[in-house]
Amino acid sequence: MWSAPGSADRTVSRELVLPTGTMHIVFRLDHALRLYADPNDPEGRVIGHDIAGGVRAAYYLRDISRPTRSIGAQLQPAAAGPLLGVPAGELAERHTLLDDLWGRDARRIREQLLEAESPAAQLALFEDILAARLPRVRGVHPAVAQALQQLPSASEVGTLVRDSGYSHRRFIELFHESVGLTPKRYTRILRFQGALAQMARRPSGSWADLALELGYSDQAHFNRDFREFSGLAPGVYRRLSPAFSNHVPLLADP
C-alpha cells in the first residue's frame, strides 16, 4: 500500500483512527507519526518513521496536518508472530518502532525504499521483503487458526474453547499471544466493524434495528460499545460521514 494521507483542507489537522482488530507495519518516508493524547493536547508526541502498530481495542488520535508518503501493510490476525517474531500480545495497544523488532534491518529496508524509483517499485520491493521474512519463523498455532476461521459466525467464546480441545485458560493465553486481544474483546471489535459496514450501506437506518441485527442486547448496549471503540456517539459519527470508515477527520481549532 503506497499512500499520501493528509488533507489540503487546513481546517482538518487530526483524525481518529478506529480499532479494526488487525495490526499494521508502515514505513513513513518523510514525516514521522505524531500522536495526541486527546483533542486538547496541543503538541502531541512524535513516535517515529518506521512502526508496527499493534492490534487495538481503542481509537487513537494522529496528526494529518501534512501529506506524507508511506508504504506498509495491514496484517491478518495472528500474523505478528510469523512476521515480526514477537507475540501479538506484546505489541497490542501501542506503536512499536521497527528498529526495536528488526534491528538494523529496519533502517536498511527504509533506505532501500527511499532509493526505489517509483511507488510501484517501492511496493514490489516491500512485498519481496515481507515474503522473505516469513519462512524464518513459526506459523500460527492450529487452535488459534481454527478459532479465527470460525469467527465471526461462532462468536461465543465457550464454543471456540470447546472446539479447540484446550482448557479455557490455555486457549485464552494462546489466542492473546497470537492475536493480541482476548477472544471476547476481539469478537467485540469484529461486531463494531460490522456496525461501521452496515452504517456505510444504510446511512439513514434505524439504530434500534442495527443493534438488533448485530446481536446487541439493546440500543443502549450498542451506543456504549460504539463510544468505547470510537470515542464518538453513533449519531456524531454518522454526521461526520468519513470517507474511510476507520479514519475520522476532526476539525482543527479555529
Indicate the SS3 state at residue 93. Answer: coil
Instruction: List phi, psi (to 5°) of 19.
Output: -70, 135
Region of 67 (left: φ > 0; alpha: ψ -120 to 50; beta: rest) is beta
Q: pTM (2 decimals)?
A: 0.86
Give the Cα separation of 79 and 52 in Å (integer): 12
Exposed/middle/buried for residue 161 (C-beta within 10 Å: 0-12, 13-18, 19+): buried
Distances (CA, A) of 202 to 3, 17, 199, 221, 242: 28, 22, 5, 20, 14
Model confidence at 84, in pLDDT bands (50, 70, 90)?
A: confident
Is residue 29 pLDDT above 60, yes or no? yes
Res 20 pLDDT > 90: yes
Q: Quick one: pLDDT band at residue 8, thresholds 50, 70, 90? A: very low
Average confidence (pLDDT) over 42-71:
94
pLDDT of residue 91: 94
**Residue 160 counted as domain residue:** no
Residue 137 has pLDDT above 90, yes or no: no
Is residue 225 assigned to a domain? no
pLDDT of 10 higher than 80:
no
Say if 158 falls within a structural domain.
no
pLDDT band at 5 (very low <50, low <70, confident <90, very high): very low
Residue entry with cell 521497527: 98
The answer to whether residue 151 sits within a structural domain is: no
The alpha helices in the chain, defined as continuous H runs, are: 80-84, 88-91, 98-102, 104-115, 119-133, 142-150, 157-164, 168-179, 183-201, 207-213, 219-230, 234-240
Assess if residue 170 is contained within a domain. no
- The reported pLDDT for the residue numbered 11 is 67
Confidence of residue 134 (pLDDT cuts 50, 70, 90): confident
Residue 54 has pLDDT above 60, yes or no: yes
Number of structural domains in the chain: 1
Check pLDDT > 60 for residue 57: yes
Listed range (35-44, 75-84, 102-111) with the worst mean pLDDT: 75-84
Question: Which one-letter amino acid corresponds to residue 80?
Answer: A
Closest CA to 247 of 69, 11, 14: 14
Cis omega (within 30 of 0) for bond into 152: yes
Query: 53 forms bridges with which residues in the sheet?
Result: 24, 95
Q: Please determine, for residue 153, whether its predicted confidence score (pLDDT) is greater than 80.
A: no
pLDDT confidence of residue 4: 46
Q: Where are the alpha helices (DSSP H) in 41-103?
A: 80-84, 88-91, 98-102
Q: Are 214 and 198 in contact (CB under 8 A)?
A: yes
Give SS3 for 157: helix
Asked if residue 2 has pLDDT above 80, the reply is: no
Binned at pLDDT 50, 70 and 90, residue 131 comes out as confident
Domain that holds residue 18: 2-136
Would you state the pLDDT for residue 135?
Answer: 60
Distance between CA atoms of 235 and 221, rounded to whole angstroms? 15
Higher local confidence (pLDDT), 143 or 78: 143
What's the pLDDT tens digit per position in 175-213? 999 999 999 999 999 999 999 999 999 888 899 999 999
CATH number at residue 38: 2.60.120
Considering only CA atoms, give the Rg of the chain: 19
